[in-house]
């Protein structure tokens, strides 16, 4: 096993609150062990374009409370090509980088896996995504902050919904996963959540409306997961259906969008990111490679990247029952 003396760290894909806390923890843990740290700007694009900056304990000072990522991030089409990855490896080698740490979501870790296989590089992934959709970890960096942001917004929307007797469809992020939608619905006291994991033959909208009418409830909040398929799913789709099928209701739509990604990370996200950053350096010292740092039952675990990106993370069906009962 090659002795590690220099590491590179990058953030890739969508930004998530807590990424800076993770970069800080990685840098300081590595420096503590006598290693040199390079920050790679703009994710895999920076790896290809040779955008490397040396990170020191001073350079990451005062960053733990900042949202976004000090290393910037980007989605790289060039890295999807063999030529792009060859250039990335060439740049890594020229800087003497022995191992790479990748903070990001599903797509970022998929890229890391391909890169590690092609060039036999030790890579450790850290789950940085507000979607909380990576298999093998209970929580991802940024999820708790995004959840709190959504709840804060929905609390404000409820004031106007109840004042005007309106139904509000609030669309939240999450890609193919309903963790943000389901848990924010419970925390905000919403009347329903429409999530990908609950797709059955039962029409979720018709079910919600019938329950609402039975309760004589005119104002309601429905949290909807964003939809990948155009024209089917998402808040606009369900609002339009209500206007057409139940014209007696006054409907409004709020799409929270990138508001969910920003803001100061919560204490929980700062602690999670710090623990994971520290654990990633320990993992490299132990000779681990091609794994993602996860957390299960408040214990740090190593999850093979292949498993983290290929397996669907199941949502706890009890959460669906909890919301259903508490929204009567």
Domain of residue 129, CATH code: 3.40.50.450
Overall domain count for the chain: 2
Question: Looking at the predicted structure, is the pLDDT value of residue 229 above 70?
Answer: no
Burial 232-248 (b: 16+ CB within 10 A, else e): ebbbebbbebbeeeeee
217 — pLDDT class (breaks 50, 70, 90): low
Check whether residue 239 and residue 107 sit in a common domain: no
Check whether residue 11 and residue 137 sit in a common domain: yes
Question: Looking at the predicted structure, is the pLDDT value of residue 143 above 80?
Answer: yes
Query: Which residues, at least 6 apart from 109, have a Cβ–Cβ distance to it below 8 Å?
Result: 102, 125, 127, 134, 292, 305, 308, 309
* Any domain includes 150: yes
Domain's final residue, options 224, 245, 261: 261
| pLDDT confidence of residue 68 | 97
What residues make up the domain containing 112?
A: 6-142+265-310
pLDDT tens for 255-275 read 999 999 999 999 999 999 999
Residues 295 and 137: beta-carbon distance below 8 Å: yes
Annotation says 131 is catalytic: yes
* Any domain includes 75: yes
Question: Looking at the predicted structure, is the pLDDT value of residue 72 above 60?
Answer: yes
> What mean pLDDT value characterizes the chain?
92
The single residue of 50, 98, 120, 131 carrying the catalytic annotation is 131
* Any domain includes 319: no
| pLDDT confidence of residue 201 | 46
| pLDDT confidence of residue 199 | 64
CB atoms within 10 A of CB 209: 20
| Three-class DSSP category at 222 | strand
| pLDDT confidence of residue 161 | 85
Mean pLDDT across 243-257: 92
């Amino acid at each position: 096993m090659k002795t590690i003396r220099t590491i590179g760290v990058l953030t890739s894909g969508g930004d998530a609150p807590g990424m800076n806390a993770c970069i800080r923890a990685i840098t300081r843990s590595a420096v503590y062990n006598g290693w040199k740290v390079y920050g790679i700007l703009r994710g895999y694009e920076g790896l290809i374009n040779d955008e490397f900056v040396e990170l020191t304990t001073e350079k990451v000072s005062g960053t733990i409370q900042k949202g976004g990522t000090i290393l910037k991030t980007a989605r790289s089409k060039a890295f999807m090509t063999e030529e792009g990855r060859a250039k990335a490896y060439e740049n890594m080698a020229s800087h003497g980088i022995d191992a790479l740490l990748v903070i990001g979501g599903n797509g970022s870790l998929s890229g890391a896996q391909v890169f590690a296989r092609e060039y036999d590089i030790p890579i450790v992934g850290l789950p940085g995504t507000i979607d909380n959709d990576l298999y093998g970890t209970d929580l991802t960096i940024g999820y708790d902050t995004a959840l709190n942001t959504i709840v804060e917004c929905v609390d404000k929307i409820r004031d106007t919904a109840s004042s005007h007797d309106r139904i509000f469809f609030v669309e939240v992020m999450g890609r193919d996963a309903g963790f943000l939608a389901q848990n924010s619905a419970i925390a905000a006291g919403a009347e329903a959540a429409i999530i990908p994991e609950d797709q059955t033959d039962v029409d979720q909208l018709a079910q919600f409306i019938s329950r609402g009418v039975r309760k004589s409830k005119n104002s309601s909040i429905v949290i909807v997961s964003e939809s990948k398929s155009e024209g089917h799913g998402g808040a606009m789709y369900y609002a339009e259906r209500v206007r057409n099928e139940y014209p007696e209701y006054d409907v409004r739509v709020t799409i929270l969008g990138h508001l969910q990604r920003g803001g100061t990370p919560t204490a929980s996200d700062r602690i999670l990111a710090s623990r994971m950053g520290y654990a990633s350096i320990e993992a490299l010292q132990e000779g681990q490679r091609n794994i993602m740092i996860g957390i299960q039952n408040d214990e740090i675990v190593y999850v093979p990247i292949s498993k983290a990106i290929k397996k669907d993370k199941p949502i706890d069906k009890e959460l669906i029952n909890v919301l259903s009962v508490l929204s009567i």
